[in-house]
Amino acid sequence: MKKSIAKEMKSPKKITYKRLENIALYYLNRYESSTANLVAVLTRRIDKALKFHEFDREEAVSWAIQVAEKMQSYGYIDDKRYIENQVRILSNKGNSKKMIKQKLIAKGCLREDVEAGLSEDIDDYQLAMRFAEKKKIGPFAKREVTPEQRQKDMMKMARQGFSYDVILRLLHD
């Protein structure tokens, strides 16, 4: 007997303030988060529960905001710490400053905090070197680089947010 491809959707529990608190604690136990990101996570859970239960969405969203503020007051959420950690993680992956900034703003971090978190000692050229090393392009290529391959490498780096000057400098070194 074959199993059905489409899984039967399990009905989530009804949303209460206490339930949102428990969801937030479980989430924060597993992931570092910004305040805005935690509210977004809780709001998605609220919307999922709304498909199965009737309750006031606005009230539940206000609970989500209160829960996020409570987690922040306990020190479980610290946006500046989150930004510092994410800058370190993303720069180790070889993301450009521009890409790091976009990802953090998408997670709900304030632009001013992100720009303050991106310290001056982070150089886009060094980030481009890390990216090239991970992708084995430019000076780290193991093969003969054809003009077509060089063009592809340039496009890869441009999609990561590196400037044309940084790309040329890296690929010509």
- Distance (Å, whole) CA 140 – CA 132: 7
Mean pLDDT of 66-83: 94
CB 42 within 8 A of CB 50: no
- Distance (Å, whole) CA 142 – CA 165: 23
- Sign of the C-alpha dihedral, residues 118, 121, 125, 126? negative
pLDDT of res. 60 = 93
- Distance (Å, whole) CA 70 – CA 54: 26
The better pLDDT of the pair 91, 69 is held by 69
Contacts of 135 (CB under 8 A, 6+ apart): 94, 153, 156
pLDDT of res. 55 = 86
Pick from 91, 131, 93: which is nearest to 114 by CA? 91
Collapsing DSSP to helix, strand or coil, 51 comes out as coil
pLDDT above 80: residue 3 = no
pLDDT of res. 173 = 60
Span 24-66, pLDDT tens digits: 999 999 999 999 999 999 999 999 998 888 888 999 999 999 9
Q: How confident is the model at residue 5 (pLDDT cuts 50, 70, 90)?
A: very low
* Alpha carbon 73 to its chain's center: 23
Q: How confident is the model at residue 18 (pLDDT cuts 50, 70, 90)?
A: very high
pLDDT above 90: residue 117 = no
* Alpha carbon 138 to its chain's center: 27
- Distance (Å, whole) CA 82 – CA 141: 34
pLDDT of res. 70 = 96
- pLDDT averaged over every residue in the chain: 87
pLDDT of res. 47 = 92
CB 166 within 8 A of CB 97: no
- The model carries a pTM of 0.74
Mean pLDDT of 138-147: 83
